[in-house]
């Protein structure tokens, strides 16, 4: 089972970065070429049925997976970054997370109305960040779906996306599901 193979290589750090949070560290997976390749291949297979031409990757661990998937699937890549990280004219979406307020930016002109975008990040937790990324893309292009390596089911990020977006359950794809 995909979940079990990959779960073994996800380290867990309780109470990081703050008390009560259990950080899922993908470093052991990235350090294992066989399983990293396996994860990328499985992520590509998982979205093969979605119609998209651009991938929007969320800073910073989303860059790792999204860039390789964009290369492998021959799709355009757009970086979605926090304030102060991108030059030029920007499109910005502010949001409030469970920890603080922040914003996401993309460079203006990177998306066109006919683009179909797949949003990629490493972890779907509470859904605040990916919900903001969706809101950033929505006025510019169509969001075709979201792809994650890990989903922390107990934090109900999927439910947030289902409530706040046009996406259906089949458009939100995660390889690994963590109950706790």
61 counts as catalytic: yes
CB 25 within 8 A of CB 11: yes
Active-site annotation holder among 8, 12, 98, 112 = 98
Please pick, among 61, 81, 110, 158, the residue that the annotation labels catalytic: 61
Q: Residue 7 and residue 24: Cα distance in Å, rounded?
A: 10
Cα–Cα distances in angstroms (integers) from residue 84 to residues 37, 75, 90, in the given order: 32, 26, 10
Cis (ω within 30 of 0) for the bond into 31? Answer: no
Is 8 a known active-site residue?
no
Asked if 149 contacts 109 with a C-beta cutoff of 8 angstroms, the reply is no
Instruction: Specify the DSSP element, H or E, that contains 2.
Output: helix 2-7
Query: How many whole angstroms separate alpha carbon 157 and alpha carbon 22?
Result: 15
Distance, CA of 118 to CA of 96 (rounded, Å):
22
The residues annotated as belonging to the active site are 61, 98
């Amino acid at each position: 089972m995909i979940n079990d193979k990959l779960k073994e290589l996800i380290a867990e750090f309780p109470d990081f970065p703050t008390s009560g949070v259990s950080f899922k560290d993908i470093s052991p997976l990235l350090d294992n070429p066989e399983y990293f390749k396996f994860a990328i291949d499985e992520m590509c297979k998982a979205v093969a049925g979605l119609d998209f031409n651009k991938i929007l990757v969320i800073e910073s661990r989303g860059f790792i997976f999204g860039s390789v998937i964009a290369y492998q699937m021959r799709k355009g890549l757009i970086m979605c970054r926090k304030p102060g990280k991108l030059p030029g004219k920007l499109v910005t979406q502010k949001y409030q997370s469970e920890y603080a307020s922040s914003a996401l930016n993309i460079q203006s002109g990177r998306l066109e109305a006919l683009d179909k975008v797949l949003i990629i990040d490493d972890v779907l937790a509470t859904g605040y960040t990916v919900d903001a990324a969706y809101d950033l893309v929505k006025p510019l292009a169509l969001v075709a779906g979201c792809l994650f390596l890990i989903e922390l089911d107990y934090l109900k990020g999927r439910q947030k996306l289902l409530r706040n977006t046009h996406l259906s359950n089949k458009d939100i794809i995660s390889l690994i599901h963590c109950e706790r």
